[in-house]
Structure 1
Amino acid sequence: MLVDVFRRLTPFQPVEDYNYVGFGSVWFSDFILFHKILGIKNMVSIEESESARERFEENRPFQIRMEFSNSSQALPKLDWTQRTIAWLDYDDTLVTSMLQDVRSIASRAVSGSILAVSVQCMKAKALIEYHEENDSSKASAIERFRQTFGRERVPDGARDEDLAGWPYGALCRKILTTEIELALSDRNTSPETAMRFIPICEIEYQDDARMTTIVGIFVTPEDMARYESCSFSKLDFMPLENKAIRIEMPKLTVRELRKIEQQLPSVEGTELSLGSIPLSDAKKFCRMYRYFPNFAVMEA
């Protein structure tokens, strides 16, 4: 899905000429995908674990530049004078250092650059600590959360219930977007430096844990026509309303997947022949079939 978003950046420049910044870990899955499909060559992977340098180097595919330091130290040192796609794909729940990273990029990125941020949204640390202490006389979980992240970032109507699951994901996306806007308000001191962050999409999904992602683009007033030419809203996975895209994996056998695939893309007004296939799972697959993983089944 992100590949399809990035493909549409050509009104700014050929996507293969973009820089890519990410957290490759030992798998470098995003780097492999973006290099092979999009042709991006200038890639930087930030890795905090200096002690595992040898393992990262041995697993590094292609000529990926490695930066062994934490992201807060590495990001300001990178070249932001070129258009960049940055995906800060964190494993953990939101912490203030992540906001520092987001602010660092927002204060430097040039027009046409993309920022994606992923965080875990199972349960906020403030909520976990509140339940562990089990003392109603102490500050509520949401009050602790406000003290950590600042009242200007947390909506007035937020409650303890918003610190777990998908509501927490929505709150994280709001806080991240607010931090970007705060950074841009400091940057936009004159018309010559004006920059906007325009959200492209928000995504919710679950693998080992519930995760949420925001994706947006930095655009100057002079480049608004280029942005409009990207037509991000025409991507077929974009919701009709400004809602988060919920990626839900259908529970279907390989045979059932193939049966539905043979009928796609469906013609408007026609119904799929499903037989015993559950309609709810079929609908999940139809919404995301172009992005669904391919599986090989081995039988002895």
Structure 2
Amino acid sequence: MSASFRKIDYSLRPAKYAERKMFVEILRRLAAFQPVEDYAYIGFGSGWVSDFTLFHRALGIKSMVSIEQAVDARERIEANKPFQIRVEYDNSSSALPRMEWDRRVIVWLDYDGPLNTSMLEDVRTVAARCLSGSVIAVSVQCMRAPEYTAYELEKATDENAIGAIERFIGAFGRQRVPPEASDEDLISWPYGKLARHMLRSEIDSALANRNTGGDNPLSFLPICEIEYQDDARMTTLIGLVADAADNQRYPLCGFDRLDFMPAPGQPIRIDMPKLTIRELRYLEQQLPLGDNEVSFGAIPTSDANKFIRMYRYFPNFAVMEA
């Protein structure tokens, strides 16, 4: 959505690539609702539209809309997009209400900044409009809350500075922040967990409003939560909106049988192993796992196990040398 493509080559973020591949495997299982190629996809393609390219090639999705607020980059984006992707040149808060909501959609609000109130409003907009059987995914950065940074700067000169969590509550409203949240929840993976909780609460609240007076209530069924780090630490919440009838289809998807799913209640942590090309090939020759144990050779055990656990989703980079 933002002009971050000017700073980040999204095609060279291996953990992000792995997340996209996992998302593809999740979306393949939507056949219990309808063929996935009949869904529409709404996302923030930026200049790279990497997720759009992958979802079209791997899943056959044809109806695709990218929201892009960098209006001044329009000529470059139009020249680089690989398929017939409709681009809405506007900010998400204005563009999302204009989307067509008369079919099931896959919406990935893939932000590159930390959680803020406008993101929560975007999530509410989607949850308030999407049909049963639609998928909502939201990604946010979780390095450090801006409110924590502001507190750290001020306390250096003012011992009576307002605490970080108090600033956070002031920014989001007390009703959105769990009462047990503390300053420690505004940094790193605890911050990611807090962000996911707040995103899910916003979706639940929007659906509760829709359900008022209705006889076919909608609910948000979580599929998974993801944590990863390329440069910044990021977290993603993925779930499905379903009415009472479609609730019965959810177990048929078999999301829990995907090989990257962790123990219940735990997020997927994408840890990229640091391996040479020769080491990658050595391990791959022994996979998939059979009756024999894998030989690691000189490869560090932790890196080898990271690769074995998620090797199907990691990118393959070929280096050509003269």
Which bracket does the TM-score occupy, shorter chain normalised?
over 0.9
Would you say 1:295 and 2:322 are equivalent positions?
no
> Are the equivalent residues in 2 in contact too, given 1:203–1:213 (CA < 8 A)?
yes
Letter matched to residue 254 of structure 1: I
Match of 1:280 among 261, 278, 302: 302
Q: C-alpha distance in 2, partners of 1:154/1:130?
A: 18
> Are the equivalent residues in 1 in contact too, given 2:101–2:129 (CA < 8 A)?
yes
Q: Map residues 124-203 of structure 1 onto 2, 5 A cutoff.
A: 124-134=145-155, 135-203=158-226
Identity within the alignment, %: 61
Match of 1:241 among 264, 267, 276: 264
Q: Specify the SS of the correspondent of 2:196.
A: helix
Match of 1:254 among 277, 281, 292: 277
Q: Map residues 87-126 of structure 1 onto 2, 5 A cutoff.
A: 87-126=108-147
Q: C-alpha distance in 2, partners of 1:15/1:253?
A: 36
Letter matched to residue 166 of structure 2: E
Q: Specify the SS of the correspondent of 2:245.
A: helix
Letter matched to residue 55 of structure 1: R
Q: Specify the SS of the correspondent of 2:263.
A: coil
Q: C-alpha distance in 2, partners of 1:136/1:245?
A: 39
Q: How many pairs are equivalent?
A: 299
Q: Specify the SS of the correspondent of 2:184.
A: helix
TM-score (norm 1): 0.97
Q: CA deviation at 1:261?
A: 1.1
Runs of 5+ unmatched residues, structure 2: 1-21
Q: Specify the SS of the correspondent of 1:44.
A: strand
Q: CA deviation at 1:219?
A: 0.6
Q: CA deviation at 1:58?
A: 1.1
Q: C-alpha distance in 2, partners of 1:108/1:192?
A: 17
Q: Deviations over 1:189-211 (max 9, x none)?
A: 13434101011000000112110
Q: C-alpha distance in 2, partners of 1:192/1:49?
A: 42
Would you say 1:49 and 2:43 are equivalent positions?
no
TM-score (norm 2): 0.91
Q: Deviations over 1:169-225 (max 9, x none)?
A: 111101101111111111111343410101100000011211000000001111122
Runs of 5+ unmatched residues, structure 1: none
> Are the equivalent residues in 2 in contact too, given 1:187–1:193 (CA < 8 A)?
no
Q: Specify the SS of the correspondent of 2:160.
A: coil
Q: CA-atom RMSD, angstroms?
A: 1.1
Q: C-alpha distance in 1, partners of 2:115/2:68?
A: 18
> Are the equivalent residues in 2 in contact too, given 1:201–1:245 (CA < 8 A)?
yes
Q: C-alpha distance in 1, partners of 2:48/2:231?
A: 16
Q: CA deviation at 1:61?
A: 1.6
Q: 1:136 to 1:178 in 2, by over 3 A?
A: farther
Q: C-alpha distance in 1, partners of 2:173/2:260?
A: 34
Q: Deviations over 1:109-166 (max 9, x none)?
A: 1111000000011110100111111223132000110111122221112111111111
Q: C-alpha distance in 1, partners of 2:215/2:93?
A: 27
